[in-house]
Structure 1
Amino acid sequence: MRINKLTYLVAGLFCATTASHAQEILSKSDAVSIALEYNFDIRAASNDLKISENSAKITNSGYLPNVSGTAGTNRSRVNSEITFANDSTGLNRGVTSSSSNASLNLDYTVFDGFGRKYDYKRLQENYNLSQIEARSIMENTMVNLFVAYYEIARLTENELNQKETLDISRERWLRAKYSFEFGQNSQLDILNAEVDYNTDSINYLTIVQQLKNEKRNLNLLLGRDVSVDFSVDTLLTFDEVNYQALEVSAREKNAALNIEQGLLRNSQYNIKVTNSAIIPKIGINSSYGWNNNQFAPGNFSSQATSTSLNIGATLTWNIFDGGRSNVQRQNSKLAMENQQINLERTRLDLERQVQNAWTVYQTALFVMKAEEKNLQTNHRNFDRSKEQYGFGLITSIEFRQAQFNLLTANLNFNQAKYSAKIAELELLRLSGTILDAKF
């Protein structure tokens, strides 16, 4: 009864898995398109890039003049008593007067010691850095995407291999039962076959569960409903990777190195901005004003209106500010030296990563080919053992060992080929070409 329940459970999961395989295949190109549009990190990076783009516009540079306008009005109500020269008096109650004014003001810095120029260059460089950082996020997302995709592909193939092993174990268990009924073997053969069938069933269920979990992980990475079911393309192709071309591309396009180079340019701009503090600055200003006054009765005049136009220029020179600007210049130079150190370290570290990744890739290719040959050998050994077991020339234990060896060889080959592909992805990421690669 115990094994029957397990059989029903495995059969039910197999049916569900078969239905899953009938789902629409998520191709590699479709996965990339979905991730580029809906992945959470990429969407956030896109917004950051737009913020940086807005900040780098000419309207945020200080190059344009400042124009402001003001306007106002006042109204008063006055009670007054007037004494004339003949000692007579007059009383005015509720006498009103009002005044209105408006002005338009313009301020413009004609020359600020080139600080504005390099501030603007720094803003543009920040936008360039944001573009590189967004590319870096996209590259890392692509690596994570395909690591998850290939893990699903590996588990899909492992599931099929484990299912074949499970079918063989079930057939062996049934054969042991029939042989026992006809008196051709012992109860021990049935028990051994049952134990192996249970073990294979558990392994199969474990792979099915891992496969479901990995699909949910990939759905999350794609930024879509985690319950969406799908199948993946298990076909693998390997590109011809040239080490010399890889090195050249890495020095030109690697995102981490490009970011450090951009930060160095910014630190150079910072020095020039701080140097501008000791250079005289020239500015101009202009204003146009209008005033209108309505006087209360009893004044010499009842109304006065005036307009004015003012134009001026200013020269500002920071002769001595207590040494603050000098400290800023010294610190900016030291910061640039630190950035040069960071750039040198990043360049050397990139060289190390490329060499390590190349070694890993070459080793992975060798292991894949070795495991493929090992799989072919185990296939021949299993076919021969199956034939001999059918004729009763070997024991069930020997047959089980051949079966186990074949399954292990299949699993090892799957692991090896997908590990080699992931090693190739890392090379493409380091070289800055993964977004242009075809999968």
Structure 2
Amino acid sequence: MSIKSLLSISMMSFMVSVSAQEILSVSKAIELALENNYGIKIASNNNRIAENNKSILNTGYLPTLTGNAGATYNLDNTDAEFSDGSSTTLSGAESSRYNASLDLNYTLFDGLGRHYDYKQLKETYQLSKLEARETIENTMAQLFTVYYNVARISENVNTLQQTLAISKDRIVRAQYQFDYGQSTKLDVLNAQVDINNDSINLINAKQELKNAKRDLNVVLGNSFTPEFKVDTLINFMMDIDKNDLFNKMKTNNVTLLQLDKNIMINEFTIKANKSGYLPTVGLTGSYGWNKNNNNAASFLAVSTNTGFSGGITFSWDLFDGGSTITTVKNAKINLENQQLEKESIFISIERDFDNAWDDYQNKLAIYRVQEDNIITSQNNFDRTQENFKLGQVTSIEFRQAQLNLLNSELSRDQAKYEAKLSELNLLQLSGELLNVSF
């Protein structure tokens, strides 16, 4: 069977294999990651814990109700002397006591401590939501990095397959020319060496593609079929405005929002700590039942008591050794540190934003240059190929034109995906990554 026939069969088999593969779109990958990624699941559970903590059941606003019950049994030997001078001796005298009660305790006022604790818990819940959002954003950034890596390698594989097909066609032509005395055996050997090199590059690229797909499936929570293709079509957001994104960054960057929440939580912490300066007023209530079965030495054989009792408690820690004063002072210092930290981090984020913007513009420009370079390289290869068929250029010159085209295509694909990832990084810094449709 000829090399051309083998090549045709190989290409047909590859096309059947590709057509059977399911296409994983970017939107589908996002959906799977949000549903199955373990980091997102853990962040969601942490958010549920914070939601439970902010419930009124965890604030101290509700009273406590306690049930108590007890029983006592005595077996005594008793020598009893009465007031009239008579006496008696009891051996093995039995007595028992039973009691049950419901006790209610409710804090009417605690210096507003629980009021600010409740506000703190609500802000902590909002902070937890921001932390979950940060986890989702980081997971999406990881997803895009791995997804577009699969896309880039997929295009590399296609390009290397085309290169290998051209090299195989070249060796057929070189063999024909050698058979008819139009070239030397050296041309055939050179063509064979190039086929071997192209085959090795293709094998390595296919293995790299398998590894990249496995990496992608890890981000997806191992929820997709092992064999799949990804979408290699890239669309850039050409209407991005730097000033608009910068303003969104100042108001919607997840790191800055978390710092704001931490500052607010610390402000409530200061107010809650100041509650130590004020008194505490509480309400107590009880309903009880008591029954005593006394021995013969007692004037009462059986006594039973039931009833309500209630009261108000007032407590004011006039001086606690200065611990409240120290706690409030330290909380104020912590607040100042958080405000300073926000200013410092804002400067860093502003720098990162400017770097990301310039990086995006540069990579977008490089991608456009690489696209223009593809046209030049393709024209150069087409002309060199025609001249090679006519015997007007050497196999070395043809191979050089082929490699130039290959390198141009690989560089173009690299530039395309780097520009897209740079764009996504810019969107993440501005807090817009989760607001973009894919």
Q: TM-score, normalised by structure 2?
A: 0.93
Aligned to 1:290: 289
> Post-superposition shift, 1:75?
2.2
Contact 2:36/2:223, CA 8 A, preserved across alignment: no
Contact 1:21/1:231, CA 8 A, preserved across alignment: no
What do you get for the CA RMSD once the two structures are aligned? 2.6
Deviations 1:72-119 (A, max 9, x none): 112233455778999999775554322111111112221111111111
> Post-superposition shift, 1:69?
1.6
Aligned to 1:64: 62
Deviations 1:383-412 (A, max 9, x none): 111111111111111111111111111111
Find the aligned partners of 1:110 and 1:154 in 2 and give their Cα distance.
66
Aligned to 1:421: 420
Q: Which moved more, 1:319-328 or 1:382-391?
A: 319-328
Deviations 1:162-188 (A, max 9, x none): 101001111111221221122111121
AA aligned opposite 1:345: S
Find the aligned partners of 2:342 and 2:141 in 1 and give their Cα distance.
24
Aligned to 1:355: 354
AA aligned opposite 1:377: T
AA aligned opposite 1:127: Y
Deviations 1:158-214 (A, max 9, x none): 111110100111111122122112211112111211111111111111111110000
AA aligned opposite 2:249: A
- Aligned residue for 2:234, secondary structure, equals coil
Aligned to 1:380: 379
Q: Residue 205 and residue 91 in structure 1: after superposition, are their counterparts in 2 closer, same or farther (change >3 A)? A: same
Aligned to 1:209: 207
Aligned to 1:97: 95
- Aligned residue for 1:320, secondary structure, equals coil
Q: Residue 304 and residue 140 in structure 1: after superposition, are their counterparts in 2 closer, same or farther (change >3 A)? A: same
AA aligned opposite 1:200: D
Q: Which moved more, 1:389-398 or 1:345-354?
A: 345-354
Q: Residue 187 and residue 86 in structure 1: after superposition, are their counterparts in 2 closer, same or farther (change >3 A)? A: closer
Matched, 1:161 2:153: no
Aligned to 2:272: 273
* Residue correspondence of structure 1 range 131-142 to structure 2 within 5 A: 131-142=129-140
* Residue correspondence of structure 1 range 165-244 to structure 2 within 5 A: 165-224=163-222, 228-239=226-237, 240-244=239-243
- Aligned residue for 1:96, secondary structure, equals strand
Contact 1:216/1:227, CA 8 A, preserved across alignment: no
Aligned to 1:438: 437
Contact 2:67/2:103, CA 8 A, preserved across alignment: yes
Q: Which moved more, 1:283-292 or 1:56-65?
A: 283-292
Q: Residue 321 and residue 78 in structure 1: after superposition, are their counterparts in 2 closer, same or farther (change >3 A)? A: closer
Deviations 1:33-67 (A, max 9, x none): 11111101001111111111111111111111122
AA aligned opposite 1:319: L
Find the aligned partners of 2:254 and 2:423 in 1 and give their Cα distance.
17
Q: Residue 371 and residue 41 in structure 1: after superposition, are their counterparts in 2 closer, same or farther (change >3 A)? A: same
Matched, 1:371 2:387: no
- Aligned residue for 1:301, secondary structure, equals coil
Q: How many residue pairs align between the two structures?
A: 434
Contact 1:21/1:230, CA 8 A, preserved across alignment: no
The percent of aligned pairs where both chains have the same amino acid is 43
AA aligned opposite 2:391: G
AA aligned opposite 2:199: S
Aligned to 2:339: 340
* Residue correspondence of structure 1 range 6-45 to structure 2 within 5 A: 15=13, 19-20=17-18, 22-45=20-43
- Aligned residue for 1:313, secondary structure, equals strand
> Post-superposition shift, 1:245?
1.7
> Post-superposition shift, 1:147?
1.1
Find the aligned partners of 2:84 and 2:342 in 1 and give their Cα distance.
95
Aligned to 1:313: 312
**Structure 1 spans left out of the alignment, 5+ residues:** none
Q: Residue 427 and residue 87 in structure 1: after superposition, are their counterparts in 2 closer, same or farther (change >3 A)? A: closer
> Post-superposition shift, 1:432?
1.4
AA aligned opposite 1:409: S
Deviations 1:341-367 (A, max 9, x none): 111112222211111111111111111
AA aligned opposite 1:171: D
Find the aligned partners of 1:189 and 1:225 in 2 and give their Cα distance.
50
> Post-superposition shift, 1:8?
9.2
Find the aligned partners of 1:141 and 1:15 in 2 and give their Cα distance.
36
Contact 1:260/1:346, CA 8 A, preserved across alignment: no
AA aligned opposite 2:409: N
- Aligned residue for 1:322, secondary structure, equals coil
Q: Which moved more, 1:26-35 or 1:69-78?
A: 69-78
Contact 1:111/1:282, CA 8 A, preserved across alignment: yes
Q: Which moved more, 1:81-90 or 1:313-322?
A: 81-90
Find the aligned partners of 1:242 and 1:225 in 2 and give their Cα distance.
37
> Post-superposition shift, 1:434?
1.3
**Structure 2 spans left out of the alignment, 5+ residues:** none
> Post-superposition shift, 1:296?
2.8
Aligned to 2:396: 397
AA aligned opposite 2:107: T
AA aligned opposite 1:155: I
AA aligned opposite 2:47: L
